[in-house]
RNA sequence: GCGCCCGUAGCUCAACGGAUAGAGCACUUGACUACGGAUCAAGAGGUUGAAAGUUCGAAUCUUUCCGGGCGCACCA
């Protein structure tokens, strides 16, 4: 019996009361089933009687009493009791609870997957940095969270594409080119250029491979250096992200948007919907029709398209490529874009609540043993994605960035996430996986083929077994919730609780026969419980892009 | 000035309007003839920034303050 199945039982019981005339309500589509914090409150609890009291015009406890009687008759439910103001505390039959282990093993890697977002085609755009330098910490939070979000949405049934928009057009690119060119000539980079040491490295690489660039006429030389440096810097970003296990399905060049006339096309599309007008020699989009605080210019008085025009065209292009939900992950310094991006969707004739979502992530602060690491481009103390991975490893970096909700500012201590102790939650979770793997290895070594032998779920009667089964049964709901709320950190928090629950079980319940002890049904049932725990931890870590080691 | 986000244990942070606000670390005290002790058990630690409101019930929703972060281009 899973929480979802139990919710269906509660709905059936309500429908029964309604048709019998004892209750006068509309049977709700959703019944909230929760796992009580206190074990004294049974395996599951529901507040449905409290929620329905007003509509029914009856005291919540009265509804609860009637419903509890019905529920207690249901197969798989051992008891249903009314508590407090009208909660119903439900205890399952041991066997009904234990069946969860079988379902997990049968579903394998698919356990936790659902169909809540089936049929949705989702574009998740994140990072989208200029190709003018290395990816830094601000990008890194999204590299981890965006990738995990895409995995979670996929698990919820959506078709997902991860997309990186390359800002490869405009004055920043020219400054980048000019900086590299200056460095190649051994000159100081321009005042408003890019200062980092990587510029010198890029210049040296390019000169070594293409020395003839230095001899080009002045007006051809900067573009030549710009293009050579662009290619190398983009490749470097792609390489680093691949190491970080964040692999994009689409790298979309802003230039290509202009070269394919998509900007004109997007502009025409907006014009068709009637939100475009001219004023002071410029062409504007009336985004104030849809909650933006001011209208935005599409074409400047000098006839040039604005960057905003690219954004609108890019949105139209995504929709025409078949995505019905465009998710943008932006840093807090871009929160002013939220309303205008939503307005763009509305101006293009879309539903700004359904076709577009903008998630804002707060900034990341780095400390080392409690001391803040100042991030300064000029002083060269920027922490790059590559450096973070070199220092703490991919697993610790990804996990540490994912386990916090993105709407609060985050402080990460480099010393802490390197620790291989409980200070560092990623190791707690990975250790639990390694520990359970070890038990299963030992079982195989002494010749127990648990999978072939099967098990009796009714034997899992220990309190710690019950806790663990309950925690495992939660996983599909956790995944669905993380997808619906776009909050992958829920997976991490769940895994930490599951790891802790497993350790408590392990401490109290001997799994394998000792010495010359006979192998019993209890041993087998516990092995199935272990195997299903390993499966769920592995599935959860997989959603975060973190490895699940068999040994550590 | 206008707008968005945040404020929870000493620290880093959880908690889709639910029951006694929870974890980890740090602190105190226990459990090792160990299926991986990288573990477990127990204790202490809180006026959820403040005040009012909404309701059976508020850290969560509303309003007003206080404090912190970020943003308000015919830049990209």
A297 touches strand B (CB under 7 A): yes
Which residues neighbour A228 within 8 Å (Cβ) at sequence distance 6 or greater? Answer: A180, A206, A210, A213
Q: State the Cα–Cα distance between residues A100 and A92, nearest whole angstrom.
A: 12
Under 8 Å between Cβ of A409 and A363: yes
Report the pLDDT value the prediction gives residue A422, as an integer from 0 to 100. Answer: 61
Q: Is the pLDDT score of A264 beyond 70?
A: yes
Instruction: Kindly indicate the confidence band of residue A57, based on its pLDDT and cuts at 50, 70 and 90.
Output: confident
Mean pLDDT computed over every residue of chain A:
91
pLDDT tens digit string along A284-302? 999 999 989 899 999 999 9
Distance, angstroms, CA A410 to C1' B2? 27
Percent of chain A with pLDDT over 70: 97
A519 touches strand B (CB under 7 A): no
A404 touches strand B (CB under 7 A): yes
pLDDT tens digit string along A153-163? 999 999 999 99
Q: State the Cα–Cα distance between residues A58 and A447, nearest whole angstrom.
A: 60
Mean pLDDT of A62-80: 93
Q: State the Cα–Cα distance between residues A299 and A34, nearest whole angstrom.
A: 54
Residue A24: which region, alpha, beta or left (left: phi > 0; alpha: psi -120 to 50)?
Answer: beta
Residues 52-91/A with CB within 7 Å of nucleic chain B are 53-54, 60, 83-85, 87, 89
A335 touches strand B (CB under 7 A): yes
- Residue A456, phi then psi, degrees to nearest 5: -105, 105
- Tokens 């099967």 sit on residue: A454
A45 touches strand B (CB under 7 A): yes
Q: Rounded to 5 degrees, what angle do the CA atoms A207, A211, A216 make?
A: 110
Q: State the Cα–Cα distance between residues A449 and A447, nearest whole angstrom.
A: 6
Nearest CA to A417 among A389, A397, A394, A387? A397
A409 touches strand B (CB under 7 A): yes
Q: Is the pLDDT score of A376 beyond 70?
A: no
pLDDT tens digit string along A317-341? 999 999 999 999 998 889 889 999 9
Indicate the burial class of A450 (C-beta count within 10 angstroms; 0-12, 13-18, 19 or more).
buried
Percent of chain A with pLDDT over 90: 75
- Residue A283, phi then psi, degrees to nearest 5: -110, 130
Q: In what order do the strands lie in the sheet with A87-92?
A: A33-34, A44-46, A87-92, A77-83
Report the pLDDT value the prediction gives residue A420, as an integer from 0 to 100. Answer: 64
Nucleotide B12's nearest residue (CA vs C1') is A411
Distance, angstroms, CA A14 to C1' B61? 29
Report the pLDDT value the prediction gives residue A423, as an integer from 0 to 100. Answer: 67
Domains defined along chain A, listed by start:
3-92 (3.30.1360.70), 421-544 (1.10.730.10)
Distance, angstroms, CA A50 to C1' B57? 10
A305 touches strand B (CB under 7 A): no
A490 touches strand B (CB under 7 A): yes
Q: Is the pLDDT score of A409 beyond 80?
A: no
Q: What do you get for the CA distance between the two ends of chain A, in Å? A: 35
Distance, angstroms, CA A38 to C1' B20? 9
Q: Is the pLDDT score of A379 beyond 60?
A: no
Mean pLDDT of A306-325: 96
Tokens representing A245 are: 């296990």
Q: State the Cα–Cα distance between residues A207 and A189, nearest whole angstrom.
A: 16
Q: What is the reported pTM?
A: 0.94
pLDDT tens digit string along A413-450? 777 777 666 667 888 899 999 999 999 999 999 999 99
Q: Is the pLDDT score of A375 beyond 80?
A: no
Report the pLDDT value the prediction gives residue A288, as an integer from 0 to 100. Answer: 92
Identify the H or E element spanning A441.
Answer: helix A425-445
Q: How crowded is residue A107: how many other Cβ atoms within 10 Å of its Cβ? A: 15
Q: State the Cα–Cα distance between residues A112 and A293, nearest whole angstrom.
A: 42
Q: Is the pLDDT score of A98 beyond 50?
A: yes
Residues in chain A: 552
Residue A16 vs residues A65, A85, A117, A239: alpha-carbon distances, Å = 14, 23, 31, 60
Q: Is the pLDDT score of A377 beyond 70?
A: no
A439 touches strand B (CB under 7 A): yes
Residues 113-152/A with CB within 7 Å of nucleic chain B are 130
CA of A433: nucleotide with nearest C1': B36
Chain B nucleotides close to protein (CB under 7 A) are 2-7, 12-16, 18-20, 22-26, 35-41, 56, 68-76
Q: How crowded is residue A170: how many other Cβ atoms within 10 Å of its Cβ? A: 13
The 3-state DSSP class for residue A412 equals strand
A498 touches strand B (CB under 7 A): no
Instruction: Kindly indicate the confidence band of residue A398, based on its pLDDT and cuts at 50, 70 and 90.
Output: very high
Report the pLDDT value the prediction gives residue A378, as an integer from 0 to 100. Answer: 47
Mean pLDDT of A23-43: 85
Nucleotide B4's nearest residue (CA vs C1') is A335
A423 touches strand B (CB under 7 A): yes
Instruction: Kindly indicate the confidence band of residue A25, based on its pLDDT and cuts at 50, 70 and 90.
Output: confident
A36 touches strand B (CB under 7 A): yes
A378 touches strand B (CB under 7 A): no
Report the pLDDT value the prediction gives residue A383, as an integer from 0 to 100. Answer: 75
Distance, angstroms, CA A128 to C1' B76? 13
Under 8 Å between Cβ of A177 and A222: yes
Identify the H or E element spanning A317.
Answer: helix A307-320
Q: Is the pLDDT score of A181 beyond 50?
A: yes
A279 touches strand B (CB under 7 A): yes
pLDDT tens digit string along A462-511? 999 999 999 999 999 999 999 999 999 999 999 999 999 999 999 999 99
A95 touches strand B (CB under 7 A): no
Distance, angstroms, CA A523 to C1' B31? 24
Q: Is the pLDDT score of A380 beyond 60?
A: no
Q: Which residue has the higher pLDDT, A210 or A38?
A: A210
Instruction: Kindly indicate the confidence band of residue A547, based on its pLDDT and cuts at 50, 70 and 90.
Output: very high
Mean pLDDT of A349-356: 93
Instruction: Kindly indicate the confidence band of residue A381, based on its pLDDT and cuts at 50, 70 and 90.
Output: low
Nucleotide B37's nearest residue (CA vs C1') is A507
Tokens representing A341 are: 């991006």
- Tokens 């009208």 sit on residue: A86
Nearest CA to A237 among A138, A135, A148, A85? A135
Q: Is the pLDDT score of A370 beyond 70?
A: no
Which residues neighbour A63 within 8 Å (Cβ) at sequence distance 6 or greater? Answer: A23, A49, A52, A53, A56, A86
């Amino acid at each position: 019996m899973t929480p979802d199945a139990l919710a269906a039982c509660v709905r059936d019981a309500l429908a029964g009361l309604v048709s019998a005339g004892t209750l006068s309500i509309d049977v709700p589509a959703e019944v909230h089933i929760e796992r009580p914090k206190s074990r004294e409150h049974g395996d599951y609890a529901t507040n449905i009687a409290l929620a329905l009291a007003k509509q029914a015009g009856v005291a919540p406890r009265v509804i609860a009493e009637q419903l509890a009687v019905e529920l207690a008759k249901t197969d798989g439910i051992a008891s249903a009791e009314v508590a407090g103001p009208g909660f119903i505390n439900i205890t399952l039959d041991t066997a009904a609870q234990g069946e969860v282990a079988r379902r997990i093993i049968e579903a394998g890697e698919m356990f936790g997957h659902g169909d809540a977002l089936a049929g949705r085609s989702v574009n998740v755009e994140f990072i989208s940095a200029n190709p003018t330098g290395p990816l830094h910490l601000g990008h890194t939070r999204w590299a981890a969270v965006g990738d995990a979000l895409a995995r979670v949405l996929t698990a919820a049934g959506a078709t997902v594409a991860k997309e990186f928009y390359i800002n490869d057009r405009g004055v920043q690119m020219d400054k980048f080119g000019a900086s590299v060119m200056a460095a190649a000539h051994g000159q100081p980079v321009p005042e408003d250029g890019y200062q980092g040491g990587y510029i010198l490295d890029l210049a040296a690489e390019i000169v070594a491979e293409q020395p003839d660039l230095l001899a080009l006429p002045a007006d051809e030389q900067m573009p030549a250096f710009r293009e050579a440096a662009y290619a190398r810097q983009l490749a470097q970003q792609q390489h680093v992200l691949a190491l970080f296990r964040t692999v994009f399905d689409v790298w979309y060049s802003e230039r290509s948007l202009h070269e394919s006339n998509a900007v004109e096309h997007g502009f025409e599309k907006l014009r068709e919907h009637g939100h475009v007008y001219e004023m002071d020699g410029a062409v504007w989009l009336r985004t104030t029709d849809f909650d933006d605080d001011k209208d935005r210019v599409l074409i400047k008085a000098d006839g040039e398209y604005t960057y905003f025009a690219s954004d609108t065209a890019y949105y139209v292009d995504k929709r025409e490529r078949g995505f019905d939900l465009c998710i943008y992950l932006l840093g807090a310094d871009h929160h002013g874009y939220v309303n205008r991006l939503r307005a763009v969707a509305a101006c293009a004739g879309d539903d700004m609540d359904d076709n577009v979502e903008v998630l804002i992530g707060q900034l990341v602060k780095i400390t080392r043993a409690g001391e803040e690491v100042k991030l300064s481009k000029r002083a060269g103390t920027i922490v790059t994605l590559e450096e973070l991975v070199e220092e703490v490893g991919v697993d610790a970096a990804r996990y540490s960035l994912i386990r916090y909700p993105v709407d609060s500012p985050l402080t990460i201590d480099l010393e802490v996430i390197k620790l291989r102790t409980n200070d560092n939650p990623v190791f707690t979770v990975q250790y639990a996986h390694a520990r359970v793997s070890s038990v299963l290895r030992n079982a195989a070594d002494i010749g127990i083929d648990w999978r072939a032998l099967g098990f009796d779920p009714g034997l899992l009667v220990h309190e710690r077994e019950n806790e663990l089964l309950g925690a495992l049964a939660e996983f599909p709901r956790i995944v669905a919730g993380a997808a619906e709320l776009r909050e992958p950190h829920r997976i991490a928090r769940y895994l930490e609780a599951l790891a802790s629950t497993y350790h408590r079980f392990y401490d109290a319940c001997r799994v394998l026969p000792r010495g010359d002890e006979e192998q019993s049904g209890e041993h087998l049932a516990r092995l199935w419980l272990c195997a299903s725990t390993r499966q769920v931890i592995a599935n959860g870590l997989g959603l975060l892009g973190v490895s699940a080691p068999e040994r550590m």
